[in-house]
Amino acid sequence: MAEPEFTATGVRIEHGLRSVTRAGQVQIRDGRLTLLTSYGREIDSAPVQQVRAGKPWFAGRGGASATVNGTRYHLSPGESDPAPGKPGRPWARKFLDAVRTAGGRAAQS
């Protein structure tokens, strides 16, 4: 199995007003985006070319959205986001860049 192109852990994944997991994982590997629970169970996955990702206006600092198989998920970073004023790219920007690089449709941030 190839090395993942993007991995984030401790991600809060929500669908609508419902929290799916508070410490999930987001992976992009072999051209496929996968959302996982904290236990590694797959929530949803699709080829990156079929995924739409963006940064909604209401997301605040570091949040992003991803539409996978017609289902829209709101993704919030865990501990991996740099604190305000600290160096480093925000999680949402890294995620959107990874989706774009892998061939998906990511809105400009």
State pLDDT tens for residues 36-45. Answer: 999 999 999 9
DSSP state of 96: H
CB-based burial of residue 109 (10 Å sphere; 0-12 exposed, 13-18 middle, 19+ buried)? middle
Q: Give buried/exposed letters for 60-87 (b at 16+ CB in 10 A, else e).
A: eebbbbbebeeeebbbbbbeebeeeeee
- List the chain residues with pLDDT less than 70: 1-4, 58-61, 79-89, 108-109
Q: Confirm if 66 and 51 have CB atoms less than 8 A apart.
A: yes
Q: How far, in Å, CA of 61 to CA of 28, rounded?
A: 22
Please tell me whether residue 70 adopts helix, strand or coil conformation. coil
Q: Token pair for residue 22?
A: 């508070």
pLDDT attached to residue 92: 85
